[in-house]
Structure 1
Amino acid sequence: MKAWEIGPRNGGGGGVESLRMVERDAPQPRPGEVLVRVTAAGLNYRDLMILRGHYGNDLPETRIPLTDGVGVVEALGEGVSGFAAGDRVVAANFVDWDPQGPFGFHIFGRDVGVTMDGWLAERIVLPAKAMVKLPDAVSDRTAATLAVVAGTVWHAMIAFGNAGSADLSGKLVLAQGTGGVAVYALQLAKALGAEFAITSSSDDKLARARDLGADFTVNYRERPDWGTALMEATGGRGADIVVDTLGFGEFAQTLEATGVEGRIGTLGALSGSPQDTADFAQGPVLGKNITIKGITSGHRGMFEEALAAMAAHGVETLVDAEFGFEDAPDAYRHLEAGAHMGKVMVRVAD
C-alpha cells in the first residue's frame, strides 16, 4: 500500500518538506483490531506542529500522520464484534480514553497520528474500542475532518460549557478565528439553538461566518479590544460559553468578552503557545464568577454524541479545500498559509 510518513525532522522541525511517500505492506488486524480501507483524511493544526517538531516527543520518522479520517471496514481481528465488512467508520483519536473511566496521562500513550500511525495511508489498523460506525446521514466529506474537532468542541461547548445539555437555546457561544474548530463550533451551536459570536481579521471571512449563521462578528484588527467590542454589540451581556482557541496570549480579551457565570473551555493557543504566561488579572474571573477548564480533546462517547447531533440536524462541516492523496504536502501548505476557512481534507480513495 501507499502511505505518507513524517520523515526526518533533523532533530527538530523538518516542516512540510520532510513528508515522504512510501510503499508498505498492508497492515493486518491483530486481536481486538480492525483493518480499514481509508477513504479520506483531514488535517488539524497539530499536524503542522508535528512536522515542525513542536508536538509529540521522539516520534519515529516512519510515523504515518493525521488523526482525522474515515474509511470502510475490510477485515476484523479475532474477538471483534459489532462491526462488519463494508461498515463506514471513524475513530476517536485517544484510543485509551474510556468514556466511563477517569481522564489521565495514560490517554496520550495511544494517540492516532501521533504516538501511533494515522490516516494518511491507503489502509489503517485501529483498535475496535476506539471506532464508531458512521451514521448514514453523515457524509464521508464531513466525517474525514471530525475526530479531533468534534470531540473537542462537544467537550468544551456541551459537556462542560452547557453542563451536558445539548439544548443551547438562549445561550451565546463565542469562538475566535475562522479555522476548523471555530467554524465547526459555529455550525454545531447554531444547529443546537444558540446565538454565536466569532472573530477574524478578515471582513470577507466574517461575512461568510454570518452566512453560516453567526449573530455577532468582530474584526480584531480593527478592534484589538475585541472583547470590549463584543460586549458593546451584545449590550453588556457577553458570552455564556467560550470555545477558546487563542489561549493565554489573548486571555484578558477573552475574559472581557465573557458574561456573568460564563464558562470558558480553553483548548488552543493560536495567539502564541501553550507555554505562554497568562495576560489576565484575577478580578474579572472573580467579579463575573467565571469558570475556566482546560480541554484535551474528547473521549469516544463525546465524539458519538456529536455525530448523532450532526446527523439529526443535517450538519455538514465546511471543507475549505480538498487535495488528492499524491498532493498531501500541498494540503499541509494550504493549512500553513492560514488563508483557509474551515477544514482541509485529503481524498485517499473513491
Structure 2
Amino acid sequence: MTYKETLFFIGKCLTINHEAHNKRIVEEHLKNNTVDWDNIVKLSTEHYVFPALYCNLRKADFLKYLPEDLVGYMKHIADLNRERNTQIIQQAKEINELLLSHNITPIFLKGTGNLLEGLYDDIAERMVGDIDFLVNNNSFTESIRVLKNDGYYKFHKDKFDTTITNRHYPKMIKKNKIASTEIHYKMVSSSKISEFNYDFIFPNIKKKNISTLSYSDNIILTTCNKQFNDNGKIFKNFNLRSSYDIFLLSKKCSPITSVKKLKNHKHLNNFLYSSFKIFNEPNSISYENTLLAQTFFSNQIKLLEHPMSKLKKKLVSWRIFNTKAFKTIFKSTYKKEYRIYLKSRIHHFFNFFKI
C-alpha cells in the first residue's frame, strides 16, 4: 500500500460504524488480506488516530480479521490512552472547580473539551496533549495567578514568554498531574478571522457543571486550528485526527452552516472539503463545492505523491516566521504592549548570548 492508499484506507476505517459503503469496502480488504498493517500502524500513529482506529474496528467486529499480536498491541495502546484520558478528565474538572471558586468560568477546548462533552463512544479514541481552556480577557491574568498558587508552573521555565504574540500563556504543569495546561485568551492567531473570539462563542457555550463549546463553534475552532493555527492552508497537509473530530461533529450539526458564520470562511471550507474526500464522501460533512476547495484538495494529493523537500519546508517555515515578526514590529508602532514585548525580547537575546 502506498502512503496515499494507506491514508484513505484509514479514513474509511474511521467511519465504518456510520457509513455502510465504507464498512463494505473495508471488510472486503480485510477478508482478502490486502492490508499492509506495518504502514497502517505507522501512519495512524503519525496522525494520532491509532486508538480511534482500534475502537472503530472493534465496534464493527472486524478485529477477527487482524493478526492476533496486532490486536493485542492495539488494545494495550487504547487501554493506556483510556487511562490517561480518565486522568485528564479528572484534572480538567479540578481546574474547573478551582477557577469557578474564583468566579472565573473556563471554557474547555479541543480534545479535552470533546472528552468532557462526550463526543466519543469510547474516551480511548482521542489522543490528547494539553488541557486547553479559554477565559475572558479580564480573567486571563487572574487565571494564571490562581493556577500558579495551586502549584502549576511554566513547563519551560527559561523560555521567553511569547504570550502577546500567541493565543495562550506558555504551557504550565503541576507535580503528579498527567497533562500540561494552556490558558487561552483567544482561540485563533489570524486577524483574518478575529471575530471568532470569546464574545462570539460565549452565548452558545454548553454548560453541564463544566463549560464547552457548542457543536457549531467547535466545528469552527477545529477547522480554524487546522488551517490557521497549524498553517494547514499553507502546508496543505492532511490531519486525520482533526478530520475525525469534524466527522463526529458533523453528526451533530452542519459544518458548512457553522463555518459560514464567519465572513472569511473559504479556507475553512477547504478543510471541510478535504475531510469529506478523505472519508470517502460521507453525506454529513457538508461543504461548498468551490474551485478553490477542489484545487486545495488536488494540491494535497500532489504533495502526497511528491512530498515537499526538507529545504522547501524550512523556507516556508522561515517565511511564516518572518511574516509574524514583521506584524509584531508593525504593531509596536501603535501598541505600547508590543513595544514592551520587543524591548524585553531584545534584552533576553543579548543576555542569552552574553553580548
Report the TM-score, using the length of structure 2 for normalisation.
Answer: 0.30
Q: Larger helix proportion, structure 1 or 2?
A: 2
Q: Give the structure with higher Rg (CA).
A: 2
TM-score relative to the length of structure 1: 0.31
Higher strand fraction (1 or 2): 1
